[in-house]
Chains A and B, each alone.
Chain A
Amino acid sequence: MSEKKKITVSIMDGPFENARTVTALRLIDIAARRGYDITVFAYEGAVSLAFVKQTAHANAVHGRDAAEEDHPLPREWIAALLQTATANGGSIDWINCGLCVDERGMSEAIPGTRRGSPADLLKAAEAADGTLIIGTR
């Protein structure tokens, strides 16, 4: 039996823009289900993924009210990922780049995430079995 894996993932894109972020979260979900220790470094626009004020809305085009529309919110996905990791004996250290947070006024993040710096990414990468960088295109 191999020892528990540590992985680091850096995400750079904000939510509601492209498939890369969703793909990254799906990969993190797999790792969380396997009980890995995961560090996520949210860089640049990705700091808004955990923004606490994301709000679901109705969708008139779909003819649905807010409850029926049940709009996906990345902050809820992240909260679920944090719980999944813990439930499977792993962990997610979700770090929001502090300067990127300040630039965007995104200081209100969901519980379980924290503010950090590029030094935290470096430290996590040094300790990780693998690091995945998902840059903006």
Chain B
Amino acid sequence: MAKRILQIIDAPYRCTIEEQDDPAIWITHAMKGAGGEFGVLLRASAVNYAVKGQDASGLSFGDRKQTQPMRVEHELARLMEKDVAVYVVEEDVKERGLSSGDLLPGVRSVTRAGVARLFGEFDGVWHW
């Protein structure tokens, strides 16, 4: 039985231009494919990863255009399709003027007070 790991992401959009993905989300996909069991908790500014309708396309340096920009909501949706639960901290969503209607379907809200309880559902907590 694989250990269940909760991946916490709170520093979004860091190196996502070069990587065309978020490294913590990417590695969750990779390790899920290797047989791991994961959940993802988005907190602080990273709750924005769960917002629908993001478009990171259009970047170019001179004539060098980026053709495969990050599609973070797509990657989160793919994780949920693989039975990886994606959580957002409810207060962090509200503080940024967002509501549950702005978020991808299937994303689960957890209150700050509920985070510790969520930790208890996992064997390990990895803070990226």
Using a CB–CB cutoff of 8 Å, the interface residues on chain A facing chain B are 10, 12, 43-44, 103, 117-119, 121-123, 125-126, 131, 133, 135-137
Contacts and interface: CB of A to CB of B under 8 A. Distances in A.
Contacts of A10: 126
A135 B14 CA distance: 11
B15 A118 contact: no
Given A125-B5, A126-B2, A137-B11, A118 B124 contact: no
A83 B18 CA distance: 35
A122 B124 contact: no
Contacts of A137: 11
A57 to B, nearest CB: 27
Nearest to A132: B126
Tell me what chain B mostly uses at the interface: helix, strand, loop, or mixed.
mixed
B59 interface: no
Contact of B34 (A43, A103, A118, A135): A118
Contacts of A119: 30-31, 33-34
A135 B34 CA distance: 21
Nearest to A137: B11
Contacts of A117: 30, 34
Interface size class of B (residues with CB under 8 A): 20 to 34
Contacts of A135: 11, 24, 127-128
Interface of B: 2-3, 5, 11, 14-15, 18-19, 23-24, 27, 30-31, 33-36, 124, 126-128
10 contacts: A10-B126, A12-B128, A44-B23, A119-B30, A119-B33, A122-B34, A122-B35, A122-B36, A131-B126, A133-B126
Q: Name the residue in B15, B19, B34 with the highest tally of chain A Cβ atoms < 10 Å from its Cβ.
A: B34
A12 B30 CA distance: 16
A122 B23 contact: no
A56 B128 CA distance: 31
A9 to B, nearest CB: 11
